[in-house]
Amino acid sequence: MQRIRLRYTKRGRLRFTSHRDFQRAFERALRRADVPMAYSAGFTPHPKVSYANAAPTGTGSEAEYLEIALTQPRDPRRLRELLDASLPPGLDIVDAVEARTSGLADRLTASVWELRLDGVEPADAARAVAAFNAAEAVEVQRLTKNGMRTFDARPAVASLESLDGAETHSSPADRPTDQPCAILRLVVRHVTPAVRPDDVLSGLRAVADLAPPVPAAVTRLAQGLFDEETGTVTDPLAPDREAAEALSKAAPAAAATAPTPEGSA
């Protein structure tokens, strides 16, 4: 059984696609692309697809991950092309590697988010960010299925900064040009309870009374292992690429040192 790991995006209006909607669209894409999927056992077999840490509905993402199991080997790059062509624009398969290591979900320990605050002056956002970073604790509330919950959002935030236009992921066409617009960059660790971008926005309102006049446009730029020394989030597919590269280098060496069959020329 071959396992393939994919990175996909949720862009534009497709950011409002729920995780269940994406699952249905992806399973249709698997059928259209004639992917030789492995299936679970039982009375209602399902294709073996493992989703990892999906972004909330309404947020965009450049870094969603899943893993599929195949009954026949396929070239990851060709498979990516076929699946991408079978999905609607906005749900894009942008990377594919053969799984050579274990624990993809364990490597998703942090996310990088971009928060676009239309109608907010950058200077006001910068002051709110400074207040948030200076606070020892930032208590926020979230409505859960068990009622209202209060928790400290500050420990999960590895970094929060206000950016100028040249540093942003968003293009100028994505936002009004006749209104102020603040852009925040957030790196948050995946902890329990999970701290989401909207929790950080609630924290900014609590510590600095920052309340954007319209809902923030939120995009996940990356997720992976958090490097404590550099404060960066690393590519979770890199170990699989490195393992594949090491295997490809080892194969010619092993062939060169293999004993020659007795009696051959």
Q: Which DSSP symbol is given to 56?
A: P
Q: Has residue 69 been placed in a domain?
A: yes
Instruction: Give per-residue pLDDT as tens, 200-258.
Output: 999 999 999 999 999 999 999 999 999 999 989 999 999 999 998 888 777 665 555 66
Q: Nearest 5°: CA angle at 158, between 152 and 162?
A: 100
- Same domain (yes/no): 128, 68: no
- Same domain (yes/no): 82, 130: no
- Same domain (yes/no): 71, 91: yes
Place of tokens 């999960």: 156
Last residue of a domain, one of 106, 124, 156: 106
Contacts (Cβ under 8 Å, ≥6 apart) of 220:
55, 59, 60, 61, 62, 63, 64, 111, 112, 113
- Same domain (yes/no): 96, 113: no
Checking if the pLDDT of 144 tops 60, the result is yes
Average pLDDT on 43-64 reads 93
Q: What is the DSSP string of 197-244?
A: HHHHHHHHHHHH----SSPPEEEEEEEE-EETTTTEE--TTHHHHHHH
Q: Has residue 232 been placed in a domain?
A: no
Q: Has residue 263 been placed in a domain?
A: no
- Same domain (yes/no): 157, 55: no
d(CA 162, CA 128): 9
Contacts (Cβ under 8 Å, ≥6 apart) of 239:
100, 101, 107
Q: Which DSSP symbol is given to 55?
A: P
Q: Has residue 73 been placed in a domain?
A: yes
**What is the span of the domain harbouring residue 97?**
2-106
Q: How many percent of the chain have pLDDT more than 90?
A: 78
Q: What is the CATH number of the domain that holds 139?
A: 3.30.70
Q: What is the CATH number of the domain that holds 48?
A: 3.30.70.580
pLDDT given for residue 201 in this prediction = 97
Instruction: Give per-residue pLDDT as tens, 76-98.
Output: 999 999 999 999 999 999 999 99
- Closest by Cα among 7, 46, 1, 55 to 24: 46
- Same domain (yes/no): 89, 145: no
- Same domain (yes/no): 77, 18: yes
Instruction: Give per-residue pLDDT as tens, 159-211.
Output: 999 997 655 665 444 545 578 999 999 999 999 889 999 999 999 999 999 99
The count of domains in the chain is: 2
pLDDT given for residue 127 in this prediction = 97
Q: Has residue 243 been placed in a domain?
A: no
119 residue type, one letter: G
- Same domain (yes/no): 137, 198: yes
- Same domain (yes/no): 96, 184: no
Average pLDDT on 100-106 reads 93
pLDDT given for residue 162 in this prediction = 96
d(CA 200, CA 195): 7
- Closest by Cα among 80, 100, 92 to 35: 80
- Same domain (yes/no): 66, 102: yes
Instruction: Give per-residue pLDDT as tens, 1-41.
Output: 899 999 999 999 999 999 999 999 999 999 999 999 999 98
d(CA 161, CA 126): 7
Q: Has residue 27 been placed in a domain?
A: yes
Checking if the pLDDT of 118 tops 90, the result is yes
Sign of CA dihedral 98, 104, 109, 111: positive
pLDDT given for residue 73 in this prediction = 95
Report whether the peptide linkage leading into residue 36 is cis, meaning its omega lies within 30 degrees of zero: no
Q: Has residue 60 been placed in a domain?
A: yes
- Same domain (yes/no): 118, 31: no
pLDDT given for residue 5 in this prediction = 98
Q: Has residue 168 been placed in a domain?
A: yes
Mean pLDDT, rounded, of the chain: 90
Q: How far is CA 163 from the centre of its chain?
A: 21
Give the pLDDT band (50/70/90) at residue 62: very high
Q: What is the DSSP string of 244-261?
A: HHHHHHHHHHHHHHSPPP
- Same domain (yes/no): 69, 26: yes
Q: To 10 degrees, what angle do helices 76-85 and 19-32 make? A: 110
Q: Nearest 5°: CA angle at 39, between 37 and 40?
A: 155
Strand ranges inside 85-167, DSSP E: 93-98, 110-118, 139-144, 147-152, 157-163
pLDDT given for residue 262 in this prediction = 60
